[in-house]
A and B are shown apart, each in its own frame.
Chain A
Amino acid sequence: MDYFLQQLINGVTLGSIYGLIAIGYTMVYGIIGMINFAHGDIFMVGAFIALITIVALGITAATPLLLLIAALVLVLVIAMALTAVWGWTVERIAYRPLRGSFRLAPLITAIGASIALQNFVQISQGARNKPLQPLFQGGFQLSDGAGTGFAVQLSYMQILIIVTTVVLMAGFTFLINNTSLGRAQRACEQDRKMAALLGVNVDRTISLTFVMGAALAAVAGLMFLMYYGVVDFFIGFVAGVKAFTAAVLGGIGSLPGAMLGGLLIGLIETFWSGYFSVEYKDVAAFSILAIVLIFMPEGLLGKPEVEKV
């Protein structure tokens, strides 16, 4: 039981990170119908920007707690803003010129953009792992493992990740459902031409979608960095594939789907590693994706194509 609880905590933490990245995939797919394969690398860029900012500000575990928190909020804002610029740029350079061209074209430039980002970071930051000393240590001991010999830990870091994710996702859901920007985004998703006929600047709305996805990926990047304490130029590939899987599992194009999918992939991966074998955790995640897609081709929360009259 204790072991189970621990896996659950770890799984939810990992799932939070995947979920935040998955939102970027799902929103871009929703609005322009393409998979932004460079999104995983945007996440990686976000993690690096966060790392550079942390080092530049001289933040360490020795920083007094209040100051530490304030500094991290600053890091978060900087990372979100700069990563958003990257997301915006990728859209402008790699995707917008090809809008309206054949379907495969943006997919190819997406892969190109992904490689370019990886190589850029590899060259400018070096190919080796970049470590970060833990900023928060300790946590709550939920069970001391007296009976079972297994102590359950909920670390402060995990709390931070889960709480931040929940807050961001709630805010984001509100934005999409209840603001005029969110409505414009959904309108572009459903009928771009009509949206333009109602005065929506479609290009700008698409840009903003990339910007928002990138900003969330930056949050995920910062949390990944603080949780694992190490980043390299290749983390975007692995995390990107997982988050993409999460988006498809939840139903690509669906916002709650991306969140649910992220959570599930995180849980599956953690439980599989915990109970079976670490080596096959990815196989487990992908197998479940395959099975779900066989029975629910739209994903768990995907919407069936609504035919227009």
Chain B
Amino acid sequence: MTMTEPLLKVRGVETYYGKIIALKGVDLDVHEGEIVTLIGANGAGKSTLMMTVCGSPQARNGSIVYAGEDITTKPTYEIMRTGIAQSPEGRRIFPRMSVLENLMMGGMVAENKYFEDDLKRVFELFPRLKERQHQSGGTLSGGEQQMLAIARALMSRPRLLLLDEPSLGLAPIIVRQIFEAINELNKTDGLTVFLVEQNAYHALKLAHRGYVMVNGVITMTGTGKELLSREEVKAAYLEGGRH
């Protein structure tokens, strides 16, 4: 752990859905330039944490500080204008907009002058999207939608990129491509990435650090390597499905 103030600092966050508690006091840090992954079983609260960082739903207790600013009670649209972008669970592509329009929506918070360059960049990253740019989002394949969701998030020129299960439903070769792309963005652009993954093996290999969440609380943390070698992690999250 470094001594500098983390880019994202989550402290004691509790999130409820009505009366049901989903996060029971989560502490977590993401430092500038890091790739951090969060793993955990279905229903552990991973997506809830991602969404809570974006203020939808808002944390009922605890605090979320981003770039030195408390964003716990800010409205979502304001949070998303401060350099945070999310490719959410379920991808949430606008089905009746073209690929290009989906990307324009992503670029809405960025300055217009960057649009053409950024578009070129995401098309280089995902050439598939360039071929399909005039197709409507709803008719893309699942994998293409996933690429679009990530590309759309990148169009906002984020400083912190939140990715909720980017490998879901993708062929292994595409998964590798996407993980390579994340690594590349992190290395060359210094993009900070906070990543939720079911694919724990790949995620922990990619990430600098990881967290394990069980039932709305963080139970383990360490570098990717450390976590990969822990017996509890192996037993619970790596069984069978490695590589």
Hey, which bits of chain A sit against chain B, CB under 8 A? 180, 183-184, 186-187, 190-191, 193-202, 303, 306, 308-309
Contact = CB atoms under 8 A, between A and B. Distances in A.
A198 B156 contact: yes
Given A199-B77, A309-B145, A194 B88 contact: yes
A187 B101 CA distance: 10
Interface of B: 54, 56, 75-77, 80-81, 86, 88, 90-97, 101, 104-106, 108-109, 138, 142, 145, 152, 156
Nearest to B137: A190
Contact of B96 (A190, A193, A194, A195): A190
Given A183-B105, A308-B90, A309-B145, A197 B95 contact: no
Given A180-B104, A183-B101, A196 B96 contact: no
Contacts of A186: 94, 96-97
A184 B54 CA distance: 19
Given A202-B77, A309-B90, 15 more contacts: A180-B104, A183-B97, A186-B97, A187-B94, A191-B92, A191-B94, A193-B92, A194-B92, A194-B94, A197-B76, A198-B106, A199-B77, A306-B138, A308-B90, A309-B93
A303 B96 contact: yes
A196 B80 contact: yes
B96 A199 contact: no
A197 B88 CA distance: 9
A187 B97 contact: yes
Contacts of A198: 80, 105-106, 108-109, 152, 156
A193 B56 contact: yes
Contact of A187 (B76, B90, B105, B109): B105
15 contacts: A180-B108, A183-B97, A183-B101, A186-B97, A190-B96, A191-B92, A196-B80, A197-B56, A197-B76, A197-B80, A198-B152, A200-B77, A303-B96, A308-B95, A309-B93
The list of the 3 closest CB pairs from A to B, nearest first, reads A199-B109, A194-B92, A199-B80
Contacts of A308: 90, 92, 95, 138
Contact of A190 (B86, B91, B94): B94
A196 B76 CA distance: 6
Nearest to B139: A306
A199 B80 CA distance: 5
Nearest to B95: A306
Contacts of A183: 97, 101, 104-105, 108
Contacts of A180: 104, 108
A200 B108 contact: yes
Contacts of B145: 309
B96 A306 contact: yes
Contacts of A187: 94, 97, 105
Contacts of B76: 196-197
A199 B92 contact: no
A184 B97 CA distance: 11
A283 B142 CA distance: 48
A192 to B, nearest CB: 10
B156 to A, nearest CB: 7
A303 B156 CA distance: 30
B57 to A, nearest CB: 10
A201 B90 CA distance: 22
Contacts of A191: 92, 94
Contacts of B108: 180, 183-184, 198-200
A124 to B, nearest CB: 37
B93 to A, nearest CB: 8
